[in-house]
Chain A
Amino acid sequence: KAGVTQTPRYLIKTRGQQVTLSCSPISGHRSVSWYQQTPGQGLQFLFEYFSETQRNKGNFPGRFSGRQFSNSRSEMNVSTLELGDSALYLCASSLQGTGSYEQYFGPGTRLTVT
Chain B
Amino acid sequence: SQQGEEDPQALSIQEGENATMNCSYKTSINNLQWYRQNSGRGLVHLILIRSNEREKHSGRLRVTLDTSKKSSSLLITASRAADTASYFCATARIQGAQKLAFGQGTRLTINP
Contacts and interface: CB of A to CB of B under 8 A. Distances in A.
Which secondary structure dominates chain A's binding surface?
strand
Contact of A98 (B42, B45, B92): B92
A105 B44 contact: yes
Interface residues of B, number: 23
Nearest to B47: A102
B42 A108 contact: yes
A109 to B, nearest CB: 10
A45 B3 CA distance: 11
A35 B100 CA distance: 10
Contact of A43 (B40, B88, B92): B88
Contacts of B99: 33, 45, 48, 56, 58, 98-99
Interface stretch (B12-20, B62-70, B101-109): B101-109
A114 B88 CA distance: 29
Contacts of A81: none
